[in-house]
Amino acid sequence: MSSSAPRGIDHVGVTVPDLEAASRFFEDAFGAVALYDNMVRTDPPYQGKEAETTLGLEAGASVIAMRMLRLGNGPGIELFEMRVPEQRPSARASDLGLQHFAVYVDDIAAAARRFEAAGGVLLTQPKEMLGIEKGEGNAFCYGRAPWGMTIELLCWPGKAKWETTAPAERYKAPAS
């Protein structure tokens, strides 16, 4: 029996200025594994009316390369390198739409150091979770990838108040 209910998030698509540099960042910062290239630079660019309609691209945009990465035990990260006449910088948290994704880590201090060593910039050092997410050892921090996209690092080894009040469990990546 099939169902229209989602099973979960499969992947998050991220447009990057340079596919190879972004791949290295995700590999160095998070241990990501490149699974496959769906499109390489030697392929003709995916562009024109069909691409614009199918992907919701600006007129004149072209997809140059695409790569799927595995990031731990969670959803994949699909990288898109695109060219468009007037490409805008990454969205800020206050802009509408997808503004960040979060990566669960077991040791947030070590993950923050690795993030910075890979070329990311932390907005703050790790700090205690806020509000209903507070709990022993629960921490988070936001950072920016080298091209400006916001990524959150988080861990919650301790019990939080939401766990006693929420109608369902929140997804937590299994330990490696």
Q: CA 100, CA 92: separation in Å to the nearest integer? A: 9
- pLDDT, one tens digit per residue, over 102-145 is 999 999 999 999 999 999 999 999 999 998 899 999 999 999 99
pTM: 0.85
- pLDDT, one tens digit per residue, over 76-112 is 899 999 999 888 888 877 876 788 889 999 999 999 9
Q: What angle do CA 173, 142, 168 make, to 5 degrees?
A: 35
Domains and CATH numbers, the chain: 1-87 (3.30.1900), 89-176 (3.10.180.10)
Report the half-sphere exposure of 102 (CA within 13 A, side-chain side).
14
